[in-house]
Structure 1
Amino acid sequence: MEEVSTKPSGYKEYVAGLLAGVATVIVGHPFDTVKVKLQKHSTEVEGIKYRNGLHCTVRILATERVRRLYKGATSSFIGVAFESSLVFGIYSHTKNGPQPQVIIPSAAFGGAIISFVLCPSELVKHACNKAELLQCRMQVQGADLIVTGMFPGGSTALLRESVGNAVFFSLNTDSSDPHNLTDVGIGILTGGLGGVAFWSAVLPLDVAKTVIQTAPDKSCQRNPFQIYRRTGVRGCYAGLGPTIVRAFPANAAAIVTWKLAMKLLGIKNE
């Protein structure tokens, strides 16, 4: 019988995390596409008006086929795979036991590290979606944007990823066998619920980060608690529905793939 190692291998944990990220994009990217379509076409455009997510999906499949659901997925595969590799790898290397007092700081540390990657990449994403914002910031800030301007909302992103990953991994600590159908079902459930719990816990921070990053100038309010006072609870949970709908299947796929990869690579998940 093949011996399963309980010690970090140096790279295998990162490979397992990378595969989990690929699975996340395969399952989750179509949901992102539909969400963007719904947001962009909230009013009638060129004779098309989407009533809901299902109607939007059917129209996309009917007119543009499956490939349209994965438009722009290449960059997502690269980015999410890298981020997932980091967070799962760091978590696996720093965790030494299944106790909550070990899991929570390990997961939070992994989340804190990837926040330094996510913050500038999400800023670029926002800027690409709103070209005039980028132009405005370049005119005002000049070359400073490259150094300091790439991290507005950095502390909020760090808090979001630290808290969110601590919640996520706390719900995904079992060492189930991914070859057993019952355990696969458990992995789907815990992974999906972990994703839902992640975003339910930190969505206000994500909204605050988005507000901070899309602000036209530095004088904008950068305190997430002040943003809460201005927008209220409803504003802090803007986009909760589409986020939750995507979170369950995408994170379920990530956890099942991660555990299967760990098993195939000979690493025991404890």
Structure 2
Amino acid sequence: MMDFVAGCIGGAAGVLVGHPFDTVKIRLQVQKFDNPLYRGTFHCFKSIVRQESAFGLCKGIGSPMIGLTFISGIVFGVQGNAMRLLGEDTPTHQFITGAAAGTMQSVICCPMELAKTRMQMQGTGQKKSSSKNLYKNSLDCLLHIYRREGLPGIYRGMVTTLVREAPGFGVYFWTYAVLTQSLGCEPSDSYMIPKLLFSGGMAGIASWIVIYPVDVIKSRLQADGVGRVNQYSSIADCVRQSVRKEGYMVFTRGLTSTVLRAFPMNAATFATVSLVLMYACGEEEGPED
């Protein structure tokens, strides 16, 4: 139970730090190649702030703040309990349990990210929130999709979500385990918190680099249908059209903003989870202030 609680707290910390970068990533991933609005990560960031105010970067944060907080609880809860079942704490076991946790949370992650993506795309380039916006909030977005497309619409992108989450979380926990063991993160170490932050940040970057091409396709599939116009008939069709129009570099669209987001977000998440678990378990010695 404590793994779940710590995961929820860490997830909330990660969302607060990383959501603006995620909005930039989504905009870059799904913008039209032949008529792009943004020249790159920093231009996209500045354009959103200038045209939509700083709140434009926070569009869709309601869905991940609720969803990712709960999802993070599931991930760390499943992974922690699975590790106890396996017994020995090794990087290989960390990978296996991380992949299992990623698979389990995909059922919630898929509709949550669908709503987040649709909300982030809504009102692109508008200076203020418009009354013409189709969705009022993340829940309203999911209800609209459900009424039009039923349950399959809610789970648009489920296959790509599974393909992304299982190996992604496997690499995530494996990297964190290797780094914390190599750096010697002990409760009595006065540098423990910086080491935890570094390990968590690098774990986030490693996992995103591994699964990023799949994430691009997932984002495009979930953004497909905004304005009630569908471009792609399947995953293969999305890959085929994307490569034909934009080349293989399409799979790196938004990677810079993702890496910029991955380090602080996952540093905050892992460090928070580790510290909550450490103090909850009643460590006699904690890190010096």
Length-normalised TM-score, structure 1: 0.74
2:158 is matched by which residue type in structure 1? G
Per-residue deviation, residues 208-261 of structure 1 (Å, max 9, x unmatched): 112222334496231376467544431011100111001001101111111001
Aligned counterparts of 2:273 and 2:186: Cα–Cα separation in 1: 12
Spell out the pairing of 1:147-166 with structure 2 (5 A cutoff).
Answer: 147-166=151-170
Contact conserved, 1:38 with 1:53, CA < 8 A, in 2?
no
Aligned counterparts of 2:104 and 2:213: Cα–Cα separation in 1: 20
2:161 is matched by which residue type in structure 1? A
Aligned to 1:6: none
Aligned counterparts of 2:242 and 2:24: Cα–Cα separation in 1: 28
CA offset at residue 177 of structure 1?
Answer: 3.5
CA offset at residue 160 of structure 1?
Answer: 0.4
CA separation of 1:217/1:35 partners in 2, compared to 1, >3 Å: closer, same or farther?
Answer: closer
CA separation of 1:207/1:78 partners in 2, compared to 1, >3 Å: closer, same or farther?
Answer: same
Selected match of 2:251 from 227, 230, 236: 236
Per-residue deviation, residues 76-104 of structure 1 (Å, max 9, x unmatched): 32222111111111100101322233211
2:209 is matched by which residue type in structure 1? S
Matched, 1:15 2:5: yes
Contact conserved, 1:187 with 1:255, CA < 8 A, in 2?
yes
CA offset at residue 68 of structure 1?
Answer: 7.7
Selected match of 1:201 from 194, 210, 221: 210
- Gaps of at least 5 residues in structure 1 are 1-10
Contact conserved, 2:24 with 2:254, CA < 8 A, in 1?
no
Matched positions, count: 244
Identity over aligned pairs, percent: 29
CA separation of 1:71/1:179 partners in 2, compared to 1, >3 Å: closer, same or farther?
Answer: farther
Per-residue deviation, residues 51-78 of structure 1 (Å, max 9, x unmatched): 9379849x78xxx78x886565444322
Contact conserved, 2:79 with 2:98, CA < 8 A, in 1?
yes
> Cα RMSD between the aligned structures?
3.9
Aligned to 1:180: 189
Selected match of 2:199 from 190, 196, 201: 190
Aligned residue for 2:176, secondary structure, equals: coil
Matched, 1:102 2:88: no
CA separation of 1:28/1:205 partners in 2, compared to 1, >3 Å: closer, same or farther?
Answer: same
CA separation of 1:86/1:98 partners in 2, compared to 1, >3 Å: closer, same or farther?
Answer: same
Aligned counterparts of 2:152 and 2:26: Cα–Cα separation in 1: 29
- Gaps of at least 5 residues in structure 2 are 123-132, 136-142, 284-289
Aligned counterparts of 1:71 and 1:38: Cα–Cα separation in 2: 15
